[in-house]
Structure 1
């Protein structure tokens, strides 16, 4: 396997160097952040040019990365350190680190930027963090092996996918307590709320399906079959489509992004991405989706209107989480954040 840097590979893998994609479509202005779990790095991509702008090394086992709602800071979990790190999205410098529980998986930031929430897979809990003072506030016990989590659009709930116990936990952000647990199916990996806050969706990795939940009643409304091993999912800003990344397994990699019509709750397209489609995000206009390909070490840029992948961007090894920011960093190139060593090839990213 080649060990050339993403910056060097970008010159050979990218066929489009301007802000116009195939067919004359204008690319969005902003930045993609990718968590490279195996190589222990974060890849920062200019969305306007689809070129790697910076590579941040020395980030041990960053399974997921998430931009704050204002785009000014990027948060990543440090799987080997049982920590989360906050990075200034402009200067690309570490703003602080904070302790989590064992096996941190995903991190999100509240809409006001005051709180961060981290799932602790090995501890069966969620850490609630003061995102300004960078101090742990409390820990909420949830189901077995919590993985993905997302806030509701109104900020009232944090919904947590418990991969081990086949349920989703509802955390009340006002009281910092779990108030309900909804059984959903086999190996839920990630959740996503519809922008209208009426329904939520959850991937069921071991059922090759997505479940839909009524937010008011917290009951499962139904399920729809997708590709093999679905992991992350997101809803387009116009609430029309649910996008699902199908990772599969190392032996039988998934290579598609399933597009679900939200109104009809059925799959209307399966777009080819790369091997091990894992993370997915969408730009604010809803025109482009971005999918990390864990086994291919690439980020697919998907034109949702044309329903096809328009280019592949090189990343570090084992890319998992991906997040979009409307801001661009003020610096470029490689930087070592010196937070720890890479996880190595045997690190499990099948979740």
Structure 2
């Protein structure tokens, strides 16, 4: 059963938006071409010297790379999603009507915003260009996180209330499969090649590895106390898992199926995110409501050491990094804000107020489309009333 509004297949909206703002991130540009390659052989040394100088000058003059796109935030207690202009830090739209959205994910092409409603047991699809509802589908009990496969064809939802994984066709929202997982499935991430998805099971203290072709669990790996989320290395060999129970992050070899490293962080961590090149791992150190954390730890995933600790808001929960690795956005659960972090300086450069209790966060390379500042949608309630709530991760 699913409810569909319009078509989920649409052309990719390509909008070029060049904006210079007060908090554009500083980054190294690409090398500029060198001139005078036709110098005579008798002046080779001088030509090489001039070439080096021209290259250095080009590096200095090219300036920072502009950051564009849209950052989507799930405001769980605000029953809404916030869309933030990545270039300016301004909230450009608020979509209300999604009851208790715990997590949000943008499709690889940037065209669809996916969210889960924890109270309505619903998967929700929004058009990223118009902010209109495209469709909904029922999930299992208390859906926690949603991800989209790298090819954009599958949508996967963990159901923490009944220990299952739901797999949907992204175009039709039809349910492809439901499979049993270990206890308390929560955060999940696909491997870069899309052949598997790694799921953190908070109650079981394990990660499950699921084959996305056969929809079978191919491995269950013990990792530690209360793991809410994972990150997967670019080569697919390693997963990194946050552990609330021990205020640490562990490294898991997915081939050898065992933990191979660990590092402590200041407060119990929740979400993790790797830079696209896999050289830096960010941990949102949320803590608890009684003892909230206020830091983001920057971890060297090779050495499993903390190389920087960045102040954020109260209860850092969700984290996402844009593809160039220059900027990150972190949701602060207990003060209803998003911290914008410059990863070239490891500093928070601005704080954006959003809705109540912001949780999941996702980045889209597509700049905000013209649309209403506020809009409301209607999502069916698929819950029976017997389900329990998921843990606050």
Normalised by the size of structure 1, how large is the TM-score? Answer: 0.91
User: Which residue number corresponds to residue 350 of structure 1?
Assistant: 392
User: Which residue number corresponds to residue 110 of structure 1?
Assistant: 149
- Could you list the per-position Cα deviations for residues 44-74 of structure 1 after superposition, in whole angstroms to 9, with x for gaps in the alignment? 0000011000000111010000001111101
User: Quick check: which one's strand share is greater?
Assistant: 1
User: Separation in 2 of the partners of 1:27 and 1:167?
Assistant: 40
User: Which residue number corresponds to residue 140 of structure 1?
Assistant: 179
What residue ranges of structure 2 are gaps of 5+ in the alignment?
1-18, 27-63, 382-388
The answer to whether the 8 A contact 2:97-2:376 is kept is yes
User: Which residue number corresponds to residue 386 of structure 2?
Assistant: none
Pairwise mapping of residues 9-48 of structure 1 onto structure 2 (< 5 A)?
Answer: 19-21=21-23, 27-48=66-87
Report SS of the residue matched to 1:188: coil
User: Which residue number corresponds to residue 131 of structure 2?
Assistant: 92
What residue ranges of structure 1 are gaps of 5+ in the alignment?
1-16, 342-346
Q: Is the aligned partner of 1:336 residue 2:383? A: no
User: Which residue number corresponds to residue 262 of structure 1?
Assistant: 301
The answer to whether the 8 A contact 1:58-1:340 is kept is no
User: Which residue number corresponds to residue 12 of structure 2?
Assistant: none
User: Which residue number corresponds to residue 44 of structure 2?
Assistant: none
The answer to whether the 8 A contact 2:110-2:366 is kept is yes
- Larger Rg computed on CA atoms: 2
Runs of 4+ in 1 over 3 A off after TM superposition: 22-27
User: Which residue number corresponds to residue 237 of structure 2?
Assistant: 198
Shift of 1:339: 2.3
RMSD: 1.7
- Could you list the per-position Cα deviations for residues 79-134 of structure 1 after superposition, in whole angstroms to 9, with x for gaps in the alignment? 11111101111111111001110000000011222111000001101001111111
Shift of 1:226: 1.0
The answer to whether the 8 A contact 1:20-1:27 is kept is no
The answer to whether the 8 A contact 2:292-2:315 is kept is yes
Q: Is the aligned partner of 1:240 residue 2:279? A: yes
User: Separation in 2 of the partners of 1:22 and 1:176?
Assistant: 43
User: Given the alignment, which residue of 339, 353, 358 partners 1:319?
Assistant: 358
Report SS of the residue matched to 1:243: strand
User: Separation in 2 of the partners of 1:249 and 1:89?
Assistant: 33
User: Separation in 2 of the partners of 1:349 and 1:284?
Assistant: 30
Pairwise mapping of residues 46-85 of structure 1 onto structure 2 (< 5 A)?
Answer: 46-85=85-124
User: Which residue number corresponds to residue 3 of structure 1?
Assistant: none
User: Which residue number corresponds to residue 275 of structure 1?
Assistant: 314
User: Separation in 1 of the partners of 2:191 and 2:272?
Assistant: 15
User: Separation in 2 of the partners of 1:181 and 1:175?
Assistant: 16
Report SS of the residue matched to 1:240: coil
Q: Is the aligned partner of 1:131 residue 2:164? A: no
User: Which residue number corresponds to residue 294 of structure 1?
Assistant: 333
User: Which residue number corresponds to residue 207 of structure 1?
Assistant: 246
User: Separation in 1 of the partners of 2:263 and 2:229?
Assistant: 15
Shift of 1:27: 4.8
Report SS of the residue matched to 1:64: strand
Shift of 1:34: 0.1
Normalised by the size of structure 2, how large is the TM-score? Answer: 0.81
Shift of 1:240: 1.0
The answer to whether the 8 A contact 1:21-1:27 is kept is no
